[in-house]
Structure 1
Amino acid sequence: MSSKRRCEDSNNINVYKKTRMDGPSNVKTRVASCDNDNDRIFLEFPNSLVNALNIALDSFMDEKNWMGYIALVPLKIINSNAADGHEGFPFSKAYCCTERYTTQYSFGSIFRKGLSMLIEFILHRTTPENKQERFVLGKLLHYLFDRMDTDAEAMKNMETYMETELTAVITNHLFGKLSTSTLFTIDKHCKGNSRGERNIKTNKPVCPCEKTDCELSGDFGDTSIGNWKVWHGNVDVMVNNEVVVASPDVEAESSSTEKSPVNVKLKSSSLTGNPQIIAQNIVFSFLQKHRHPENDNFLCPCIGVTSKDIVVYLYDSIYDVLLESTIIPLHGMIASPNNNINLVAVLVSWLVVNYKYLCDGVMEEMKTMKADFFQQAEAKLSIYEAQLKAGEVGNACFTVYTRDILKNLHHPSLVELKKRKRLIFMEPSEK
């Protein structure tokens, strides 16, 4: 694959990269409205973490940095069952064959707003004037300063968790902590040992991590999205109703066998080109466009997770652009002094769960690299555009017949059918 570095625009990120290597300026420089917000994190954030952030940011902009480059590759859909002529398919049975375009982009190219905010803080300890954006930046700084060591401890031994436990732990100790809201919903039909366990005193669901008395900031509920006529089903986790988290399913949806730790451990390679995650990402983007037409852009993310890695898919349902990130390790690489959680993974997670505030949307040149989903789903594109919903998806395709209704149907009774069936196997002399 040929590789073209794509960071350049009117707010050239390379300019920031060039200047930020000089290190942070004096802590006493201006901090916008810090005192008014009664939040000292912007003044007290330690230089040791500033330096670590400075190094980690190279992964978003520098193709030749020693840690590895977080790239985004546009995908083209060659074939799929997104518009089957007879029925829709659940996400676990979604088929979506893709191929990669030869051009790749830096992860930072679509998050220039978020990286600019962070770089300005690193350089000058300056915070955004916009209160919401300042709050989003504060979420990252508080996590790094106050929580990361504790949450990293909870995310040890990830390979021992069942599938649902895995997504619950990562969301509770990473994605949820970095989002503007810590609330999230876990699929109530999930499989896993932690399902239904609650703290006796608070009645809150218990986190399946190894920490004692750790509670989930989310809860179990209906996470179904889509339409039974097209792709549909339950996503593993919905963060703040804005981001989908999915763990690749190696078993059929109808299987009743629980996911074993061995299966979870073997699934890292299945993050790349995963049809289940791609289907969820596409459906969710169309759903967000329908529910929130006021949004600035509809490049909506879906995070795929395993016990060791994460990957980010982003689909824009207006421009029909599908992007896939490189695999990002959860541990190692750039870590804080007291734990081995990957700081690059933390930054990726922060940018993605707050994409509504930090993402610029697809670049102009990306718009020519179509996913061709519109063509693939042409026969049912109107359903994707206007008939998707969240919650109770799939119920409409089933008709519940009560005993009273059955009496009025012009069909033989079950007893009569059984009599007819027995006649087939009777000897002529017995009839």
Structure 2
Amino acid sequence: MAEIFVNKNIELALPHLNKLRFAVLELGSCNATRNVLFPDAVCKFDLVRVERPDEELKHDVRSLIVNFSSLFRPGIDFLTACQNTSSDNIAELDAHKKEALSLLNNYFLNLDLHEESLNKVIGKEKKKNDEADIKQTETDFTIAVAEHLLGKLAPSQSYLIDSRGKEENRCKCGCEVLPSYGNTGIGHEEVWHGHADIIFSPHHPENQSIGKCFPSLSSTSDQENTAVKRPHLHVDENMEYTDRKTNAEVKRIATGTSEEAIAQNIVFSLLQKQQYPNSPNCMVPSILISPDYFQILLYDAENDVLLCSNFIDLFNVNADGHLSSEAVVTLWCVLHYRIFCCGLQFENMDEANIYKSNFSRLAQEKWHIYSNCLKNCVNEFPVVDNTAKVELWNRKVLQGTEFCRGMKRRK
């Protein structure tokens, strides 16, 4: 195996990872108990805010946030430790961590090539009036992101792109690579269901995560979010407050979040928990990415916690066409969440309740499906007709009435 080391870009990125924050969201209403596709998902959410514990500041209510450095402490500690050790010591590390570090180093070694490929495709991202052209452009971007960014950073560098109608599409950067296509359907036809744009690490199901590609991401939305005020019980390293400057920023974080992506993230996290019930960390991510920004959603299926990151620049603001080192390291940590994310640790149920999204309560009517019957790798979901049972019952009643004429009731 080639010598493993910590690339200089990684060292430069590490101090900036503390800037990444996650807002804690609560769902106010949703259509999770209906048989709807992800694009039709209704998922109205609010920010969770807490009161300060100090008596003199108890009326000072701020948005509840979770720092990236708390959730991904194992990953940050690992990279920090690798900066201060020899390549011989790195070679003796855990095989999974060593493989992950090798992927990150190799990506930075080939950074110019990947930047060139992405820029060629993103440069063609023009808003067109023709809907077919827009769909084609979104497909091109999805392929480029999978082949030249996220797929290269994911465990085993493996991914699957939704295959429906795209099997012949190749990467348009000039490499002409035919990407990996497959069935990316997740969910259940009686509840939320549909197809993820990308599933990462398909050959290692326990490490899977999903991606959603957008032609653009915006921090504005028609949805007006209010904040859910909750009492504050305890302060630990996971629970942080926004200061007044960032309080408005956190609100902007949430307002641009896709309801479709939230539904996908919740379903996929519940699917992972269903398939791997003994996993020590049930907080599963999904990545929302556009040519300019990306955003991370995290849903903890064990504790019913929904987190949403701020918008993160994909490229350097002052260096046109160059990927942000912080963005690359952040995406790498998220894609390797099974080894680099520790999740949230609660001291008691009262503390855990502060963070709850209340999805399990809203989906209670169909909770048996979400907890036991979700499907994976589906090509096409069967159509569910909600009126079928009623019509069938009426038909049997009418047939029975006709059939029973002239008969006597048994005593």
311, 316, 323: which is aligned to 1:341? 323
Distance 1:230 1:159 in 2: 38
TM-score (norm 2): 0.71
Tell me, yes or no, if structure 1 residue 234 matches structure 2 residue 198: no
35, 43, 46: which is aligned to 1:99? 46
Q: Which residue of 1 aligns with 2:240?
A: none
Describe the superposition over 1:132-191 as per-residue Cα deviations: whole angstroms up to 9, x where unpaired.
11111111111112x21110111115152412221221121111111122221111225x
Tell me, yes or no, if structure 1 residue 397 matches structure 2 residue 384: yes
Distance 2:318 2:99 in 1: 25
Q: Which residue of 2 aligns with 1:12?
A: none
Describe the superposition over 1:205-226 as per-residue Cα deviations: whole angstroms up to 9, x where unpaired.
6212x2x23414x422211100
SS at match of 2:157: coil
Q: Which residue of 1 aligns with 2:155?
A: 180
Q: Is the 8 A contact 1:228 1:393 kept in 2?
A: no
Tell me, yes or no, if structure 1 residue 243 matches structure 2 residue 229: no
Moved over 6 A (4+): none
Q: Is the 8 A contact 2:143 2:170 kept in 1?
A: no
Q: Is the 8 A contact 2:217 2:256 kept in 1?
A: no
Q: How does 1:290-329 map to 2 (within 5 A)?
A: 290-329=274-313
How many residues are aligned here?
316
Distance 1:294 1:392 in 2: 28
Q: Is the 8 A contact 2:26 2:46 kept in 1?
A: yes
Q: Is the 8 A contact 1:184 1:238 kept in 2?
A: yes
Return the letter of the residue paired with 1:74: V
Return the letter of the residue paired with 1:245: G
52, 56, 60: which is aligned to 2:17? 60
Structure 2 alignment gaps of length 5 or more: 49-62, 126-136, 203-207, 222-254, 386-394, 397-411
Aligned CA distance change for structure 1 residues 154 and 237 (closer, same or farther; 3 Å): same
Q: Is the 8 A contact 1:91 1:280 kept in 2?
A: yes
Distance 1:372 1:120 in 2: 38
RMSD: 2.5
Distance 1:334 1:184 in 2: 31
Describe the superposition over 1:249-286 as per-residue Cα deviations: whole angstroms up to 9, x where unpaired.
xxxxxxxxxxxxxxx24757568321000000000001
Tell me, yes or no, if structure 1 residue 372 matches structure 2 residue 358: yes
Q: Which residue of 2 aligns with 1:425?
A: none
Distance 2:3 2:257 in 1: 43
Decide which structure has the larger Cα Rg and report it. Answer: 1
SS at match of 1:362: coil
Q: Which residue of 2 aligns with 1:382?
A: 368
Bigger strand fraction: 2
75, 97, 100: which is aligned to 1:136? 100
SS at match of 1:213: coil
SS at match of 1:175: helix
Distance 1:234 1:361 in 2: 26
Tell me, yes or no, if structure 1 residue 119 matches structure 2 residue 105: no
Aligned CA distance change for structure 1 residues 163 and 119 (closer, same or farther; 3 Å): same
Q: Is the 8 A contact 2:170 2:176 kept in 1?
A: yes
Structure 1 alignment gaps of length 5 or more: 1-37, 62-68, 198-204, 249-263, 399-408, 411-431
Distance 1:56 1:215 in 2: 30
RCO higher in 1 or 2 (8 Å CA, sep ≥ 6)?
2
